[in-house]
Amino acid sequence: MLRPANYLCQRLSPLPLGRRAFLRQAGCGFGAVALSALLAQGDFEIGKVAGAEAERSSDPLSPRKTHFAARAKSVIYLYMDGGPSQVDTFDPKPRLATESGKPFA
């Protein structure tokens, strides 16, 4: 059964909160307070790039120039939820052929 996204926020207990429960319920609030303090300093502007002029266009989602020329012609993206890690699947293991079938020491 799917739960709503605010499931943890709705489970407020009248009992005193422990340290872990308090941090779990107030964790997002700490990040919001820190972000508002940073933005209140006024040092952050949208499109501001340190040391260079930001390219501005009428479409903010339009592609921008990259720092380096692209070399890749295509990309293979594998999303294996619950599958083995990339270390287990794509890392070459030359000793695997010689150690195959032997008991673990």
pLDDT for res 14: 61
pLDDT for res 81: 75
Q: What would the two tokens of residue 81 be?
A: 């939820």
Q: Is residue 25 situated within a structural domain?
A: yes
Rounded to whole angstroms, what are the CA distances from 65 to 29, 52, 70, 78, 103?
Answer: 36, 13, 10, 27, 55
pTM of the model: 0.24
Q: Is residue 67 situated within a structural domain?
A: no
Band (pLDDT 50/70/90 cuts) for residue 51 is very low
Band (pLDDT 50/70/90 cuts) for residue 2 is low
Report the alpha-carbon distance of residue 44 to residue 21 in Å, rounded.
33
pLDDT > 80? residue 52: no
As for how many domains the chain has, the answer is: 1
Q: Is residue 92 situated within a structural domain?
A: no
Q: How many CA atoms lie within 13 A of 48 on its CB side?
A: 6
Q: What would the two tokens of residue 82 be?
A: 């619950």
The contacts of residue 13 (CB under 8 Å, 6+ apart) are 21
Residues forming a β-bridge with 52: 49
Q: Is residue 61 situated within a structural domain?
A: no
Structural domain containing residue 14: 8-43
Q: Is residue 49 situated within a structural domain?
A: no
Query: Which of 38, 69, 81, 94 has its CA nearest to residue 30?
Result: 38
